[in-house]
Amino acid sequence: MTASPARAQRFREFKMPDVGEGLTEAEILKWYVQPGDTVTDGQVVCEVETAKAAVELPIPYDGVVHELNFGEGVTVDVGTVIISVDTDPGAGPAAAPAPSAPQEAAPSAEEEAEPQGRQAVLVGYGAAPSSTKRRARKPQPAVPAQPESASAALQAELNGRATPTPMITPVPVPAAPAAPVAAAPAGRPLAKPPVRKLAKDLGIDLATIAPTGPDGIITREDVHAAAAPAAAAAPAGAPAPVAAAPADTGTVDTAARERRVPVKGVRKATAQAMVASAFTAPHVTEFITVDVTRTMKLVQELKQDPDMAGLRVNPLLLVAKAFLVALRRHPEVNAAWDEANQEIVYKDYVNLGIAAATPRGLIVPNIKDAGSKTLPQLAADLGELIATAREGKTSPAAMSGGTVTITNVGVFGVDTGTPILNPGESAILAFGAVKLQPWVHKGKVKARQVTTLALSFDHRLIDGELGSKLLADVAAVLERPKRLITWG
């Protein structure tokens, strides 16, 4: 039974939109409204995290929140209804919205008594009916009760020795079985072999444990819970009972000291991107150590320059500018590999990515058309990009379309690294820590400010000669920053 047109018009459903480029799911981070709250068209009702960023979702209706379909922390597929709004709350009490698909009537008592076949699913015919739902047996002659037969079968299954039990007509059981049957002793608790070993090692009698697992199975947690009060109950002054030391198997139970966290959101996207890049693009990484004393002096001078007032000036800014100047001298580097069409796509623009560590994980927003910007414009865009990333407000659009990237590992005190390419990009430059080191300058050993740069590039696009020239030019600009003028 479907909802009437009037009712469908009154209760409007808002579905999880595709807030990125082809994203299929998003996690609900926070609800800003609750059922009964009044909302207006364009009001932000929740914050969701996609594989790229955290995004706030506005509601396109006026009315009163009728229902939130999912709680916080739940990952929802794109196109799934997440909230419904009563657009005419003055029309009377709101009943639950009608189901979107017809539902079958509840089965009668006779139908429930009949055995059910396998349910149709997307693939195959689903699981067989549970062995605990059987047809009622016919009256049989009196047979000695065997209360432990089900337990024995279940324990055999736990031990990996379960065998199918054919449906046969019950017959009187002879006094002595024709063949030995592997049945559990009367009252034997149900537990898997590893759990039994754990209980033995801890000196716990399984018969004294209340099981919490399915079908009355004792779990590892049950054993640990039973061991804790047993240890606390021992008198402080009384000597501990002497028990046989368990055999040393060389294994240590570490489950209680491990945490498992679902892989989702930015972490999931980062993992997929890094694996795809590492096993698709053949990486080559080259290194160069350079004296950046003059660059560091220029940074201090720029901080006092009126044209840079109010802007964030730091070594990363000049590294970015040096990278852009070197790319202008070697435009063949700024390209992408099109596997589907077997083409190399050369790009006449540079979208410069800046790797940013955020509480939600690593993201790489980029400055659009960075090669055409002046130094003050680049500083303004770089400062805004970093501030937005730290606030967790970076949009998916800001993280798409990058061509090359810089990762500033030096802020962590690291000399350099072997960075992995952002998928679809041709090169990534790692900027290491700037340290005071002995350096030969004008024929004398002096203390100079030195850093190490690392350049990883896609060897399908960039030969060793081209990659080496690019890295050498970046170093040359940082060694003598006046080349920003002569080469720029």
Distance CA 110, CA 108 (A): 5
Q: What does DSSP say about strands 54-58 and 44-49: parallel, antiparallel, or unpaired?
A: antiparallel
Show the tokens assigned to 484: 């920003």
Burial 344-383 (b: 16+ CB within 10 A, else e): eeeeeebbbbbbbebebebbbbbbbebbebebbebbbbbb
Catalytic residue (one of 283, 330, 441, 459): 459
Sequence-distant contacts of 206-215: CB under 8 A, at least 24 apart: 215/154, 215/190
Q: Give the SS3 label for residue 251.
A: coil
Amino acid 40 reads T
Q: 336: Cβ–Cβ under 8 A, 6 or more apart, which residues?
A: 344, 345, 347, 403, 424, 425, 426, 461
Q: What element of type H or E holds 309?
A: none
The owner of tokens 């337990």 is: 151
Q: Indicate the burial class of 156 (C-beta count within 10 angstroms; 0-12, 13-18, 19 or more).
A: middle
The answer to whether 275 and 433 have CB atoms below 8 angstroms apart is no
The owner of tokens 């047809």 is: 135
Q: What element of type H or E holds 174?
A: none
Distance CA 361, CA 268 (A): 10
Show the tokens assigned to 303: 């901080």
Is 330 among the catalytic positions? Answer: no
Active-site positions read 459
